[in-house]
């Protein structure tokens, strides 16, 4: 009964070659998030969707884009991956923004390697 699914679990790409990571959810939650987690560091929010409303973090590089074609799916596009973009990418959902109190449900993550 997986609730937040991320595909693929491992992704290898070449320097500069666009890559797309996928997230889907069966919870019918309004909000979907993308976090980047580098080795031994804290997960860092890149952006989130509140329904169709896209909310970018101020320090998220332009190289990172996202799409949410429907409630269930959300994609992370890295237009020109650099070596510094190698990380675990976590997708999460929450029912609402709930004044910041709603539990976030995480997927297993996609580990991105850039060669």
Partner 1 sequence: AQSVSQHNHHVILSEAASLELGCNYSYGGTVNLFWYVQYPGQHLQLLLKYFSGDPLVKGIKGFEAEFIKSKFSFNLRKPSVQWSDTAEYFCAVNAPGTASKLTFGTGTRLQVTL
How far is residue 43's CA from residue 36's CA, in Å, rounded to a whole number? 6
Spatial CB neighbours of 30, under 8 Å, sequence gap ≥ 6: 50, 51, 71, 94, 95, 96, 97
Residue closer to partner 1 (CB basis): 86 or 88: 88
Spatial CB neighbours of 96, under 8 Å, sequence gap ≥ 6: 29, 30, 31, 102
Q: Measured from the CB of residue 102, what is the shortest distance to partner 1 in angstroms?
A: 6
Per-residue contact track with partner 1, 32 to 71, x per CB under 8 A? -x------xxxxxx--x-x----x-x--------------
- CA distance readout (Å), 22 to 44, 59, 77, 94, 99: 18, 22, 9, 17, 27
If one asks whether residue 99 binds partner 1 (CB under 8 A), the answer comes out as yes
If one asks whether residue 80 binds partner 1 (CB under 8 A), the answer comes out as no
Q: Measured from the CB of residue 40, what is the shortest distance to partner 1 in angstroms?
A: 7
Residue closer to partner 1 (CB basis): 58 or 83: 58
By CB under 8 A, name the binding residues for partner 1: 4, 31, 33, 40-45, 48, 50, 55, 57, 90, 92, 94, 96-109
């Amino acid at each position: 009964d997986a609730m937040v699914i991320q595909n693929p679990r491992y992704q290898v790409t070449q320097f500069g070659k666009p890559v797309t990571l996928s997230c889907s959810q069966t919870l019918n939650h309004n909000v979907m998030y993308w976090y980047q987690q580098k080795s031994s560091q804290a997960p860092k929010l890149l952006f989130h969707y509140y329904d169709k409303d896209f909310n970018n973090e101020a320090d998220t590089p332009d190289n990172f884009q996202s799409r949410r074609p429907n409630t269930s799916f959300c994609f992370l596009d890295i237009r020109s991956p650099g070596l510094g973009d190698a990380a675990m990418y976590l997708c999460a959902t929450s029912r609402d923004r709930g004044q910041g109190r709603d539990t976030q449900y995480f997927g297993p993550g996609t580990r991105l390697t850039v060669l």
